[in-house]
Structure 1
C-alpha cells in the first residue's frame, strides 16, 4: 500500500521520490512527507485507518475540492496535486498535496490565540462556487450517556436536554469543521498553514469556533479556550451561541462501549470542566 502510494506519487510529480518520513498525529490516515529529486516537498494522505478508511473516497474528494476552493483566498492551505479517491493505484483513497512550511505549536499565548481567531474569521468569509455538504453533528444521540468520570452530572444532563431541542437558525458559512490548534502550522510566530480539510462543510460559524475552543480547553485548559471565543466574537461581531458550543463538547464523548479517543485523566477532567462552564452561558 505504501509502496503503491509512492509509485503513484512519482507519476503525479513526474520525479523520483528521494526521501520519505511519516508525519505524527494522523488520526484518520497515514501521512507521508515526501521529497522528490527536484527538491519539492509534498504530503501524501493514505486513508488507512477505520472508520475513516470506509469513507475514504468522499473524504479525499472533499479535501481536494476544499483546497481548490481556497486557491485564490488568503487562507494558507496546501495545493492539491493529485487524487486517487477510489484507490485504484494506491490500494486506499489517497490525496497528494503540497507541503507547507512550519510546525504545530506546543503552547499558546494570547497573541497565538488571537491569530487563530483572526484566521477562522477569514475562513468563514470564503465563498466557494458550490456549497459543501451540510455539517454533521458529532454529538450523536447514542453518545448522550452520563460519563462515569463526571463530577458535573447535572451539567451533562442539561446539555443533553439542550441538544434534544431543534437547532437554532443560523447563517450558513464555509466551515473547516475540524479547525483546531492541531491542524495549524506555525513559523516565526505566524500561522503558515491550515491542514486536514476532509470534513469541510457548510454550517454555523460557532460550531467551527466551538471545536477550536474545546480542543484548546482539553490541551491547555479553559483560559485560552475562552480567550479564543471572546476574540472571535469581537472580530466578527457574532454573539456566542451556546447550542453549537455544547454540541461540539458533547461530540467528544465516545460512542457506547468505546473508550474516549483522547482518554488521559487530565483531558477527561478538562472536558468535564469545560462542559460545566459552557452550561453556565446564558
Structure 2
C-alpha cells in the first residue's frame, strides 16, 4: 500500500481507544495513511515503546459502510483462526465493530513487514509464490468454519464493456445463468490478489522474492477453492494481461491445489469472477493507479477484461 501523510490524522475517540490497547509507557508517535484499499481507511501507526524503540500497528476504519460490523467481526474471527497456522497474517489487537468506542467501526492489528508488488517485473517468480500461498490457505481446516461465501454478480447485472466481443460475453453470461456447481468446501480468503499480499524482494534480485504477509481478511468465508483461484486470476489478468490470469490457474494446480474436476465447473467460477469485475472496473482500477500503475486507465482495464473473458471462453476444455 502507498503512504499518504496528508490523510494520516486519527480521529480523537479512535485515538483514545487505540491508546487503551497499548502497553505501559507506549504512545503513538507517528501516523501514515496507506492507500490501496477500496472500502476502508487504513493507517500505519508508529508506536513509541518504553525502552525508546518503536513498533508499528495497523488501524482499519470503515466510514459509512453498511456492512462494516459484519466485515470487522468476520476479520477478527479470521485473524484469531489464523493464529499459529503458519499463514503469515496480522495478529488481532482489538476490534470495535459497532463503533461503541470509536467514531466509526475499527480494527487494530499488528503490522507485517513487506510491500505489495504490482509491477510486471519479477512476475514469473511471484505467480508461483502466490499459488503456493493460496494452496496453504485452502489447506486450513479450522475447528469452526467461517461464514458461507457470497457472490453478488448475476447474469442480469453484468455490464458488457464498449467494444467488447459481444458473442463471447453473451456466451459467458449464459454460463453463469446455469446452476451453481457442487463443490467441496475450503477455507477461503475470498479477496486473494497481489494487492493483499506482501513481499520481501532483495534489491536487484527479484528472483529472491518471498511472501511476508497476507492481509485484508474481511471477506474470509467457506466455499469452493475455484472462487479464490478465479479472483486472483482475474486480478492478474487485469494488472498484467490475460495470459497471466490463465497462468495462475495452472500454477495453483502445479502447487498442489485441487480445483474442480470438470472443466465446465472450473469455467463457471472463473467466468463468474471475471464478469463480476465488469460492474466495478473504475472502482478496482483506481487504487492501482494510485499505487503507480498510471497506465491502467478504466479503458485499458476494460479492454483487458474483455480479452480475458474471451480467452476463457476460447480456451479448450
TM-score range, shorter chain: over 0.9
Q: TM-score, normalised by structure 1?
A: 0.93
How many residue pairs align between the two structures? 276
Task: Please state how far the C-alpha of 1:233 moved relative to its aligned partner.
Answer: 1.6
Matched residue SS, 1:21: strand
Matched residue SS, 1:88: coil
Task: Please state how far the C-alpha of 1:273 moved relative to its aligned partner.
Answer: 0.5
Residue of structure 1 aligned with 2:69, choices 31, 41, 57: 57
Q: Deviations over 1:205-261 (max 9, x none)?
A: 011011001001101112322221101022224356110001100111227xx9654
Q: TM-score, normalised by structure 2?
A: 0.83
CA contact (8 A) 1:138 1:248 kept: no
Write the mapping of 1:149-228 to structure 2, written as runs, cut at 5 A. Answer: 149-188=162-201, 189-228=209-248
Matched with 2:290 is none
Matched with 2:144 is 130
Write the mapping of 1:20-169 to structure 2, written as runs, cut at 5 A. Answer: 20-38=31-49, 39-48=54-63, 53-107=65-119, 108-147=122-161, 149-169=162-182
CA contact (8 A) 1:123 1:176 kept: yes
Q: Deviations over 1:26-82 (max 9, x none)?
A: 21111010011211210000002x5xx111100001001111111111210000000
Output the aligned Cα RMSD.
1.7
- Structure 1 segments unaligned to the other structure (5+ residues): none
Distance 2:96 2:80 in 1: 16
Task: Please state how far the C-alpha of 1:264 moved relative to its aligned partner.
Answer: 1.5
Distance 2:172 2:212 in 1: 36
Task: Please state how far the C-alpha of 1:88 moved relative to its aligned partner.
Answer: 1.1
- Structure 2 segments unaligned to the other structure (5+ residues): 1-9, 202-208, 286-296
